[in-house]
Structure 1
Amino acid sequence: MVAVIGFLLVLSILLPLAFIRRLWRLDEPTRLGWLLALAETAVLLCLIGLLNRWDIAGFWTRAALAALGVIAALVSLPRHRHRPWLSPDRGALARSLVPTVVSLFVLGMALAYVAWGMGARHDPRALSFPLSGGRFVVAQGGGIGVLNHHSDHPAQRHALDIPAVGDAGFRAFGLLPGDPADYAIFGKTVVSPCAGEIIAAVDGLPDLSPPEADRDNPAGNHVIVACDGMQVELAHLRQGSVTAVVGARVAAGTPIGAVGNSGNSTEPHLHIHAVDAGSGKGVQLSFDGRIPARNAQFVR
């Protein structure tokens, strides 16, 4: 699993760097060629910026790639500023630009699809943010599979997985540390996201060493709060931290446990999802008026 994470991170950094390097060194005969290459690089950077797990790769890394892209554009602009928009040999020009046009179209369609998956609204219900005491990031969230691996499960279609990041912008030191305490989210306070009644509370399951997972107890230590016609589940809590009691009424913001790594979890994070009590279907959530999707940050 570490190898897979490492490969994806390298790809998501080296591929943008390759496009930035090409833009930096670009020497097109026409301004149109330069403009298409610039657009292709910009769309790729936006796509990777939305898709990549920057809590693992580092949010400063994303900012650095964006800055390098701007610098590359400014470096290559003077070479193309006074060149013609088109060359006399239109056939040769068209053939030379076809690969860039095709790439730009494909990347643009992918970017539009991802942007739709992040922003599509499905009657979202407003809840209070379920964590306190840190800078938190949505790792899995959105309405499509490339953003949220829960999206094909009817009850968890809008589920969220939330880690935290430290001052350097990483969720942990290293790709997949084996000690749960090495993750910024571990031990953070989990609070009730709404006023309601506790209808389930489980504790006593151990916090596992990543990437070990307990598939027999998917939610691990968890709490379910019934509120506003929904059942809101908060899962993978720390062993011995659950303070919620079945049948008790809680207000929004009431501490109910702490983040751990129990259950079917490959690393410490808070899992939250809500289902409609009548239909059993997943409910889209919003915090602070925002529909959370991958890489959205919340500071509490």
Structure 2
Amino acid sequence: MTVLILLTQIALPLTLLAWLGLWPAGSFIGLLLQAAGTGAFLFALARVAQWAVPVWWLPRVYGALWLVLAVAACWRQEISGLPWLPDAVGGWGAIALSVLLLGLGGWTGARAMLGQRPPPVEVVDIANPFGPGRYLVGHGGSDPLVNGHMRTLDANVERFRPWRGQSFAVDFFGLGPWGLRASGWRPADPAAYAIFGAELRAPCAGTVVAVENDQPDFEVPEQDTVNRLGNHVILRCGEAEIVLAHMRQGSISLVPGGRVVVGDRLGEVGNSGASTEPHLHIHAQRPASEGAPPISGEPLGLRIDGRFLVRGDRLPGALN
């Protein structure tokens, strides 16, 4: 995973920027396509990749560099005096690469943007579930490119059926100093992550359906693939259930059958269950059928503080 992140989120963008800055195309069409292709690809990468690692604001730096380099390339090449088309094989090869980047970036970027639309299901509105802090969406949206939970919509995969209710879930990381999610690249200690121990509050008024409070918090990247929710709370709010998972061991003081109102303390974010690092998983679903797994109900969309959140969005926690 570390190698993949280094390649796709650092090496590849810097390579494309260096290509535009150091080897601008020698024809008008070539330079236009080179700038458009690198820009489209960087935009798609900014929308599709998870930028919790290395940092959420890095795509903005890439975007600013792209703009500066594109303008500089046009100025250095005296664009008005360039031939329309290249006169060498290398120039046509660069055009082919630029068209590939433009097509790939345009297609994936468009899909990521369409993923900002709420899904074609009922959408439940809830309040902000966090206490103080700053939070980044790791998974969220209505397209699998930006929300990996949507894989569980595939009814043909038997192992997904017990988890179907989480198909439109939202996962949150915490943001610490400089926008970093942890003190280190991927520290083993869950307490090194900004979100670990963050206070969670009831996002809706309703009844406590289920509570699990005794699962251990694992060191990163260990996880429990059997007890997938780990420590969790399930609230029945109207006709929907709100599931908050991967909470901290011993932090929950609720009992099934109890009542909560918006803002009541639920517990804290932890690293229990099928969690590769500390984060909050939250989703809405219809109640599961009697005797069925607890998150196998019909999945619902989720709006938090009036926002349908997608990968890369940031959410401020409560002020107090």
TM-score, scaled relative to structure 2: 0.86
Match of 1:141 in 2: 140
CA gap 1:207/1:98 in 2 versus in 1, 3 angstroms: closer
Q: State the alpha-carbon separation in 1 of the partners of residues 86 and 254 from structure 2.
A: 75
1:248 Cα deviation after fit: 1.6
Q: How is 1:178-193 mapped onto 2 (pairs within 5 angstroms)? A: 178-193=188-203
1:204 Cα deviation after fit: 1.4
CA gap 1:22/1:277 in 2 versus in 1, 3 angstroms: same
Given that 2:41 and 2:105 are in contact with CA atoms closer than 8 Å, whether structure 1 keeps it comes out as yes
Match of 1:70 in 2: 67
Q: State the alpha-carbon separation in 2 of the partners of residues 60 and 43 from structure 1.
A: 18
Match of 2:293 in 1: none
Match of 2:228 in 1: 218
Q: Does 1:296 align with 2:313?
A: yes
CA gap 1:179/1:27 in 2 versus in 1, 3 angstroms: closer
Q: State the alpha-carbon separation in 2 of the partners of residues 93 and 180 from structure 1.
A: 51
Which secondary structure does the structure 1 equivalent of 2:29 belong to? helix
Deviations 1:14-40 (A, max 9, x none): 111111111112443332221111111
Letter in 2 for 1:116: L
Match of 1:104 in 2: 102
Q: State the alpha-carbon separation in 2 of the partners of residues 33 and 74 from structure 1.
A: 15
Letter in 1 for 2:7: V
Which secondary structure does the structure 2 equivalent of 1:168 belong to? helix
Q: Does 1:45 align with 2:42?
A: yes
Match of 1:35 in 2: 32
**What's the C-alpha RMSD, in Å, of the aligned pairs?**
2.3
Q: Does 1:205 align with 2:215?
A: yes
Match of 2:182 in 1: 172
Q: State the alpha-carbon separation in 2 of the partners of residues 167 and 96 from structure 1.
A: 41
Which secondary structure does the structure 2 equivalent of 1:218 belong to? coil
CA gap 1:269/1:13 in 2 versus in 1, 3 angstroms: same
Q: State the alpha-carbon separation in 2 of the partners of residues 181 and 164 from structure 1.
A: 12
Match of 2:119 in 1: 121
Q: State the alpha-carbon separation in 2 of the partners of residues 56 and 103 from structure 1.
A: 24
Q: State the alpha-carbon separation in 2 of the partners of residues 220 and 292 from structure 1.
A: 24
Match of 1:242 in 2: 252
Q: State the alpha-carbon separation in 2 of the partners of residues 270 and 99 from structure 1.
A: 40
CA gap 1:169/1:88 in 2 versus in 1, 3 angstroms: closer
Given that 1:138 and 1:297 are in contact with CA atoms closer than 8 Å, whether structure 2 keeps it comes out as yes
Given that 2:124 and 2:303 are in contact with CA atoms closer than 8 Å, whether structure 1 keeps it comes out as yes
1:182 Cα deviation after fit: 0.3
Q: State the alpha-carbon separation in 1 of the partners of residues 230 and 288 from structure 2.
A: 25
Given that 2:170 and 2:282 are in contact with CA atoms closer than 8 Å, whether structure 1 keeps it comes out as yes
Match of 1:83 in 2: 81
Match of 1:268 in 2: 278
Q: Does 1:130 align with 2:147?
A: no
Q: State the alpha-carbon separation in 1 of the partners of residues 58 and 8 from structure 2.
A: 13
Deviations 1:94-138 (A, max 9, x none): 776334223312221121122222334334221112112111011
Aligned length: 297
Q: Does 1:285 align with 2:302?
A: yes
Q: Which runs of 5+ in 2 are unaligned?
A: 153-163, 290-296
- Percent identity between the two aligned chains: 34
Deviations 1:56-111 (A, max 9, x none): 11123223222211221121121243224624979998776334223312221121
CA gap 1:100/1:60 in 2 versus in 1, 3 angstroms: closer
TM-score, scaled relative to structure 1: 0.91
Q: State the alpha-carbon separation in 1 of the partners of residues 3 and 85 from structure 2.
A: 44
Q: State the alpha-carbon separation in 1 of the partners of residues 86 and 242 from structure 2.
A: 65
CA gap 1:150/1:95 in 2 versus in 1, 3 angstroms: closer
Q: State the alpha-carbon separation in 2 of the partners of residues 53 and 102 from structure 1.
A: 23
Q: Which runs of 5+ in 1 are unaligned?
A: none
Given that 1:27 and 1:80 are in contact with CA atoms closer than 8 Å, whether structure 2 keeps it comes out as no
